Amino acid sequence: MALTRRHLGLGLLATGLAGTTGVAVVGPRRIEGLVTGTNPDQASLWGFIGGEKLDFVKNPKVRDLLARRHGLTLDASRAGSIEMVSDGALTRQQPQWLWPASAVMTQLARRNGLPVRRDEVVFNSPLVLYSWSPVVEALEKAGFVERRDDAWYVVKMAQLMEAIVARLSWRDLGVPDLYGRVIVTTTDPVKSNSGFSFAALLANLFAGPGGGDVATLETVARDGDKIAAVFERMGYKEASSGTHWNSYLTEGMGGKPIVAAYESQLVEFILADPERWKALRSARIRPVMLYPAPTVTSAHPILSLTPTADRLVTALTDPDLQEIAWSEHGFRGRLGGVGRRGPAVEGLSPTVSSLVPMPDAAAMLALLQRLGAPR
């Protein structure tokens, strides 16, 4: 067989690698991977993921980058953030990785004996409120919300939550079309992180004057009844952030007048279905996103439970994957920043500075116990 220039080039590459790494032979699959930019060491990883990130891992661009550059294929099953780190029926299935929606879940996973090898926050998404234009107008007149630089802020978040505990009615607020008492709905805090995060925010709001303190075991014990009252008035609570968001859009102002969810959900929806968003924005009763001041942010950590899954932790910090996460799904980066090609979304704040830290795991465990969660 004649020695072509291509064979010669690959042979020199192999020789060079052997000389610099001390490896005597570089196999043809490894050489092909180095030349083409693909990873020949392919692995399929199975694990649990929060529903708000399912569309991200299903994105063909994400799947291609993970497979081609990092040699990984993900088999993701949806589960609530709290369930995946504490429900024995799930943990006994021996997932290789977990991707909840709160850094507190890493602490809970370790407390529950899960073999967490590596963990890294890869996304951030602030907890926000979603409502409808007539409700926002009433909240503005009552002094609870303000518009600043095209974004809406709940500037008296602690006072609004206190008014809800005091059984403020929609009629008293100035929304006679809605029946009964003012409520904010969210997911089940025992199962889903958006509900869990809202419980943490309530605990912080009630912890001290002005709502800027971080809740402790002592304040949770003192304020537990008030926090539970807010959740009890919600009635049925969905177990997934994704289904809760869909309910907000389909049930409208009558069924879901105010909900707590993630900022990323609106951005992802607008990017995925701009025509439907255009129709919603032109309706007489329009959806509106509001930033609580202060709020908490959901830091989405990836947890590896097996040696092979360690590669996934590294892969998800890939700058190209981070850019897709923002530009197509609305997830802010690890430090809360936005990407270079940020989507043009009306009402989106470029920075979210009014943040208060999540309470620690001990305080949140006590709060979950008060809200009906098993330790």
Residue 31 forms part of a structural domain: no
Residue 36 forms part of a structural domain: no
Nearest to 161 by CA among 118, 124, 207: 207
Helix (H) or strand (E) holding 140: helix 133-141
Burial class (CB in 10 A: 0-12, 13-18, 19+), 104: buried
Whole-number Å distance between alpha carbons of 94 and 304: 11
Residue 355 forms part of a structural domain: yes
Residue 114 forms part of a structural domain: no
Range of the domain at 222: 126-297+350-370
| Cis bond upstream, residue 294 (ω within 30) | yes
Residue 163 forms part of a structural domain: yes
CB 316 within 8 A of CB 122: yes
Question: Two tokens at 136?
Answer: 């926002």
pLDDT at 3 over 80: no
Whole-number Å distance between alpha carbons of 335 and 192: 23
Domain count, the chain: 1
Residue 72 forms part of a structural domain: no
pLDDT at 36: 47
pLDDT at 25: 42
What digits encode the pLDDT tens for the residues 139-167?
Answer: 999 999 999 888 899 999 999 999 999 99
CATH of the domain at 178: 3.40.190.10
What digits encode the pLDDT tens for the residues 199-237?
Answer: 999 999 999 876 668 999 999 999 999 999 999 989 899
Residue 222 forms part of a structural domain: yes
Who wins on pLDDT, 372 or 290? 290
Residue 247 forms part of a structural domain: yes
pLDDT at 24 over 50: no
- Band (pLDDT 50/70/90 cuts) for residue 40 is low
What digits encode the pLDDT tens for the residues 80-137?
Answer: 888 899 899 999 999 999 999 888 889 889 999 999 999 999 988 899 999 999 999 9
Residues 6+ apart with CB under 8 A from 361: 104, 107, 108, 111
